[in-house]
Structure 1
Amino acid sequence: MKHSLKKLLMMGFLLLLSVGLLAACGKTGLDNGGDSDNKVTTKKPKELTVGVSVSTLSNPAFIDMKDEIQSYAKEHGTTVQITDAQNDTSKQNNDVEDFVQKKVDALIINPCDSDAITPAVKAANEAGIPVVLIDRSSNGGKVLTTVASNSVKGGKMAANYLVDTVGENAKVAEITGIPGASATRERGQGFDDYAKGKLDIVTKQTAGFDRAKALTVTENIIQAHPDITAIFAQNDEMAVGAAKAVSASGKDIKIIGFDGADACLKLIKKGTVAATIGQRFDKMGQIALDSIYKHYDGKSVSKNIEAPINLVTKDNVAKQ
């Protein structure tokens, strides 16, 4: 009897020990992947490896972001691994899954699509890897923080600018981004809400944040609506494509973009594009890494961090 009791106690002890060991294995940053206030394993920046998934490196604005992340990480001794999703949601999810399998310490994701990225965010959650999102949000999963400009505010700024420059009730077109991306939804919301009753939005067509697609879309818009006086393109790549189509048409159509990318700033200097809502993608990259550094220093991180925006026109473009 005593032998059996002793055996049972020993088995219980071994079971508790094994559970404790399993719980301790694989901790990279978050106990449940979703709460920055949970206890974390403290690490210095030089001890961290961060996986970075960019939606597309064909967009100059995201190249600026990528370059700043690399530069800022190097300054702090952090190892970064960067992938280009090429605007392919399946590739992005696979890239993130690879980072999860590699057990990186943190993830920075610039999502192609706010719905499609959800499974990847949840996979990181299950692995206890903190996730920081840049420019676009995720519609599911838990993230350490989302670093983004206020796209609704930016959309309103764009509409207000057009009201001031082409006048109330002017006929305008809106070229939208990738369907499902939070930036598309929020920039459109801000623009449409402010424009209601002030501008006549005769058409809204998507060009997927792509310059070449925007060129074709704008050509079609001008043919179908030759009396438009302005175009709001939801990013600068599309604004550049739209500008090429407008120049070829010989019409006087005001174009306003969104991002503050170099290619668009050059056209603003020339007068081909009227304005853009300038974002600081370099700052977003720094803020994203700083959020990870704070987290691994045991400090709390705000769930949403707003990056600065400003209206850029020919009057102030030289200061950008």
Structure 2
Amino acid sequence: MKKIFGAVLAGAMMTASAVYAEITIGLSVDQLFESRVAVNNGIKAEASDRGYEVIEVVADGDAQQQNAQIQSLIAQGVDAILVCAVDQNTIERALLAAKKANIPVVAYDRDLPDSRVVQAFVGPDSLIDGRLAGEYTAQVLADYEGEITIVELIGALNDQNGIDRSKGFREGIAALENVNLIEVPTDWDSARALSGTQNAFQANPDVAAVFAATDTHIPAVETVLADLGKLVPKGEEGHVVITGVNGSNDGYQAVLSGTADAFVVMGTEATGRKAVDLAAKIMAGESVDRLNYVGGNLYTAADAEANKAKIWGAPK
């Protein structure tokens, strides 16, 4: 950490003060998409408020490139590293180099639970977020008669957020009986979400609900339903219950139009600002909690527009 120490002499009294200057945060990003940019904007805003510089590197989904970029940040002498890992299984080698250089590491958005280096994590409470969507689905389908077929568009299984959203959703729908859960792996890819949804509906025409681990996949679901003549608004007979997690404009518009029933919105700016705050405390020698969560909020058509300012993806 770079510090400038100064002494102020007032009369016969000298007061020592430490003034932080030229603090540089290395921001290692897995890839850029709307919600990640929203979190990164929170990081940059908090860093700017504190007078910190940010060096951002983006790996474009390439784990080996991210490792090399972190090595570059270390060589540039950054004071702390904030990292959202491409792959939690391959990032540790680069992080160990940061530890050797005495550079604190904070993981954001995507936890690295097995890391020996990461000192703190901040991100969405994906287990709760998924559970909120599941509980809502269970409430809507509580009186459904017969087998309840639900399509789950699963996120990446090397991503703790994807794992936890799926686990939470399943916990949320546990109150339902006679559920036929159709798993559709997407790896967060919209094309895979589209083809997987098409296949699921082809094999199971009577799907009652769809859960999208990211609401950016809701347009793919809408496309499939429209092609099948099943794009029925909420409240009308034949409507397929749709929920998702994220807070994108896709989710917001689908909820407002009645295509989707509800979506869980992540606190992106708060997550970014908290990441910088954690790094600042660690650099100052303060102890911090290892796990720090920013809970999401579930909105429906009844309250989404009124809470537009809290929905990061809604048009401003």
Aligned to 1:133: 107
Shift of 1:123: 2.5
Q: CA deviation at 1:197?
A: 5.7
2:280 maps to which of 293, 296, 299: 293
Q: For 1:254-293, list aligned pairs within 5 A.
A: 254-293=241-280
Partner of 2:126: 151
Compared CA separation, residues 285 and 108, structure 1 to 2 (3 A): same
Residue 165 of structure 1 aligns to which amino acid in structure 2?
V
Following the alignment from structure 1 to structure 2, what is the Cα–Cα distance between the partners of residues 241 and 111? 26
Q: Classify 1:240/1:124 alpha carbon distance in 2 versus 1 (closer, same or farther; 3 Å).
A: farther
Q: How does 1:1-320 map to 2 (within 5 A)?
A: 44=20, 46-57=21-32, 59-138=33-112, 139-167=114-142, 170-196=148-174, 198=176, 200-251=179-230, 252-318=239-305, 319=307, 320=310
- What are the ranges of 5 or more consecutive residues in structure 2 without an aligned counterpart? 4-17, 231-238, 311-316
CA distance in 1, matches of 2:99, 2:164: 26
1:43 deviates by 6.5
- Structure 1 residue identity aligned to 2:205: P
Cα distance in 2, alignment partners of residues 211 and 219 from structure 1: 12
Deviations 1:101-124 (A, max 9, x none): 222111111122222322232222
Cα deviation code 1:95-154 (max 9, x no counterpart):
222212222111111122222322232222222111111121113222121002221122
* Counterpart Cα distance in 2 of 1:92 and 1:272: 38
Is contact 1:148–1:305 with CA below 8 Å preserved after alignment?
Answer: yes
Q: Determine helix, strand or coil for the equivalent of 1:220.
A: helix
Distance 1:204 1:270, change over 3 A: same
Helix, strand or coil at the partner of 1:229 = strand
Q: Which has the higher helix share?
A: 1
Q: Secondary structure at the match of 1:203?
A: strand
Instruction: Look up the match of 2:10.
Output: none
The aligned amino acid for 1:228 is V
Higher Rg of the two aligned structures: 1
Residues 246-273 of structure 1 show CA distances to partners (whole Å, capped at 9, x for unaligned) of 3333223222111112332122112222
Distance 1:195-1:116 versus aligned 2 partners, 3 A rule: farther
Q: Which runs of 4+ in 1 moved over 4 A?
A: none
**Could you list the runs of 5+ residues in structure 1 that have no partner in the other structure?**
1-26, 30-41
Counterpart-to-counterpart distance in 2, 1:307 and 1:127: 30
1:249 and 1:121, CA in 2 relative to 1: closer, same or farther beyond 3 A?
farther
Q: Measure how far apart 1:67 and its partner are.
A: 1.9
- The alignment-based identity, stated in percent, is 26
Deviation at 1:182, TM superposition (A): 0.7
CA deviations 1:190-223 (Å, max 9, x no partner) are: 2223334625143112111122321222122211
Q: State the distance in 2 between where 1:242 and 1:129 align.
A: 44
* Equivalent residues of 2:138, 2:172 under 8 A apart: no
CA distance in 2, matches of 1:212, 1:272: 20
Mapped to 1, the partners of 2:123 and 2:180 lie a distance apart of: 27
Cα distance between partner residues in 1 of 2:71 and 2:115: 16
Once superposed, what is the RMSD of the aligned Cα atoms?
A: 2.2
Higher strand share: 2
